[in-house]
A and B are shown apart, each in its own frame.
Chain A
Amino acid sequence: MTEFINRNQRQLTWLLYALAAIALLLFIGDQLAGKKAARIVQTLISGVLVGGVYGLVALGIVVINKASGVFNFAHGWMMVVGGMIFWSFFTVSEISLAGAGLLSAATMLMIMTTVSYRNLLERRNLLITAGGTVALTLLMTIGGIEWQWLHALTGTFAGAILTGLAVERFTIRPLIGQPLFTAVLMTLAVAEVLHGLTQIAWGTVELNLPVFVDPQTNSRFKPIRLDGLREALDGLAIIRVELVIAFVLALLAFIGFMLFFRYTSVGLAMRATSEDQQLAQSVGLRVRVILAITWAVAAFLASIAGVLQGGAVGLSLNISFVALRVFPAVLLGGLESITGALVGGIIIGIVEQFGTLINSSEQVGTNLAPYVVLMLVLVIRPDGLFGEKRIERI
């Protein structure tokens, strides 16, 4: 018997996993058996839509990791900063010219000095900086409150670029060549710094961010009611419009980044940098610039996610915790996979919702189910569903 076990240890392990999976599925099936079809459909819809937002957050984390190998623990706070900047421009009828000008100038200066501060000594670069500052300031301040979307989008774009570039320039760049773990720890420090700065700038009060508002009623869009399916589903299922918008935006972002990474020279350079920074540098790639772009892009993605999340439930410091809930999605999809971020986000969204449907009193949906699924997937595919399998030669 002992010999049999020793000889077939691997197969027996898999058999145990398979039995556990079957038992889990039987348990879930039993729990769902008594539920109306409408509840199952509703849960699936909610899971997919919420998962889309998770996917967008996961994408920001993956982009950084893909280019630099750093797992960014500050992503949640970058969401908060982006959301707050959007709020500042979106809900204020008269934008401060000085404030907008300062933000624009800081952003342009950071962009123009990405390679070197000496760039500013060139007249052409100075003119570009000044021109960009004036253009951004105009876009942020032109017209009244009826231009709030333009103000907010421009302000958020500039704020995100500034945040991303500043984080890269002052915290990550000095660590190039150092162990990756140091950079990961640095992102923890960055998270706390952003936390503190956010609190100083915007306080701690939960803010209403009315982005998903029907202009006719000045309230949130009415959900789509699937009344036509009421009989077939034995109940009502609804689709919340703001979650659909968030989902569509997330999908567009994914498509954009898939194309960006695959077909643009910057995207290819980012992929090369992620493989080996020193090698990339040796073949003439500007690692500094690539890393800077990556952080700016991630900060922009975080800002979009912050606005979507803040618009759906309100803007508070709590939305930083969404990033923590997304970690299983990132690991599930694969740390370096764009597709994996989306798929992982949707899977975790669905798993959370079904976990909640089965047992909401013990937080099965948020505290247990995503991690059980993550464990099962990692056992089968240690690099995640779409992660790159790495072979270390020794």
Chain B
Amino acid sequence: MKKNCILLALLLLILSALPSLAQDMMDYPSEMTACEVDLAGETINIFHFGDLSGPFAFVTQPVVSAVTDAVNYWNSRGGVCGAELAQVYEDTGGSREAAQSTYDRLTSQYADELDLLLLYSSDDGELLREQLAEDEIVSLIAAGSIASLYGEDGQTPGWLYASNPLYINQFGSFCQFVAASPEIFPDPVIGFVTWPFAFGLAGMEPAAREYCGGLGVQVLAEPQVFLPTDTDILTQVQNAIDAGANIIYTNTIASGPALIAGTLADLGMEDEIKLAGFNWVMDTSVGILGQRVLKSNGLPSVDGMFGSMPFLWWTELTSPAVQFVYQQFTINERGPAEQNIAYLVSWGVVDSIIETYIRTVNRVGSLDAVTGADIRETVESMDYAILGGLYQITYEEGMRDGTMNRMAVLKYANTTMSGAATGPDDAMLIDDGAGGKLFVPIVVPLTDFMEVPQLRG
């Protein structure tokens, strides 16, 4: 209820600030390939599974919401080339065993139909990499690990295709940004304070340290790890600072970045030590959870945190893609907690799946004739602006992850919603529904989209 109040207020603010945003139903923002084959009476299933009830559920739940909304949107408009869209999904609770058994069951139950599969986690990607190749099933994933996308040697592209750049490449682009911004990052030394999972430690590879070192950005060899259940991480943060870090980089989500930022504020070092992370640190949840602790300037502790933003964000409402997803979000009365990265990007994933099917069916002549190899051929030939510009995918020349990234900073809106607040006095504060006030998080892009360095070795 409380979060509903917050986000409803936030949405009203954004809408009132943009009167030009039409309330009429918008046209679909992508210019999709025209259908050459009538698929009336057929069904295109969108298959996906992953952790919907385990540790990362609060990130992944909106995937189901977005796919549901997208499926309903298309079906209410006659489907895709006449074919009805449907989704088949499973919750594996973050368990590898459950992921394996779900995969086995789906591949057996939908043997003739399962050519394209949406996965959520790098771990599942690594688990299923070889099997996907063997079964000739293309898999889309938000951001896979090197091992899942390119194999242990980093040089063997498989059947998984990520929309975001690899986390190691995101880290590389952060190093580029640091090297190009000596006024913000003098004598930069980066220390990792992060979660100990596969994605948490992405960027700690020697290749990344070497690349950053070449740019004049030192990266400490030892990461400081903590668990999502940790109450106090003073020791980890101080270890990094004692080792010389003046930038802390984290691959954590939700309360993870907030805990680090709060610890820096507790130590009175929020101005001396900069905080940064991969694309997930820019999520709405971080902006809200990071308000528990205020910095000395009176703004929330995560204010000023840097992060990757390889796609457009909710606040970039001049983009038709964002306007469209925002409108669908509102029409479907989605809860505020779902206004996150997963919901936004999942609309893009559905868009890419539809475009992939249209192109493939046009080429092979019928839906029944489509095989995983056909889907793969289509995907690898695509140079496609998702939803007309939410993000771009190009999987040519053996690429399996996104190639473009930009840097952004997490800020809080000022009273006129025209920019970032400089302190609590000019910050937009909204009622939190429980007698308190909340700052309104915004993401401010700092750079244009640029190609990420390729650091997978």
Chain A residues near B (Cβ < 8 Å): 36, 39, 42-43, 46, 49-50, 53, 90-93, 145-146, 148, 195-196, 199, 203-208, 210, 213, 217-220, 222-223, 225, 236, 238, 240, 243, 309, 312-314, 316-319, 321-322, 325, 353, 356-357, 360-363, 365-366
Contact = CB atoms under 8 A, between A and B. Distances in A.
Contact of A317 (B57, B289, B300): B57
Interface in B195-235: 196, 222-232, 234-235
Contacts of A218: 436-437
B41 interface: no
Contact of B231 (A145, A312, A366): A312
A238 B234 contact: yes
B293 interface: yes
Contacts of B226: 356, 360
Interface in B271-314: 285, 288-289, 291-294, 300
Nearest to B254: A206
Contact of B229 (A145, A146, A322, A357): A322
Kindly name the residue among A238, A313, A314 whose own CB sees the greatest number of chain B CB atoms within 10 A: A313
Given A46-B232, A90-B434, A365-B235, 10 more contacts: A42-B234, A92-B1, A205-B61, A206-B58, A206-B289, A208-B289, A219-B294, A243-B231, A309-B229, A319-B229
29 contacts: A42-B238, A91-B1, A91-B2, A91-B433, A92-B1, A92-B2, A145-B434, A204-B53, A205-B58, A206-B254, A206-B255, A206-B285, A210-B292, A210-B434, A219-B291, A220-B294, A225-B268, A238-B234, A240-B232, A240-B234, A243-B232, A313-B259, A316-B58, A318-B228, A353-B232, A357-B235, A360-B226, A365-B235, A366-B227
B53 A199 contact: yes
A91 B254 CA distance: 19
A196 B3 CA distance: 22
Nearest to A236: B267
B242 interface: yes
Q: Which 9 A-B pairs have the closest CB atoms?
A: A204-B57, A205-B337, A314-B255, A219-B294, A145-B435, A91-B434, A360-B224, A361-B222, A91-B2
Contacts of B2: 91-92
Contacts of B196: 363
B435 A148 contact: yes
Given A145-B435, A205-B58, A360-B225, A217 B289 contact: no
A172 to B, nearest CB: 25
Contacts of B228: 316, 318, 321
B293 A220 contact: yes
A143 to B, nearest CB: 12
B252 to A, nearest CB: 12
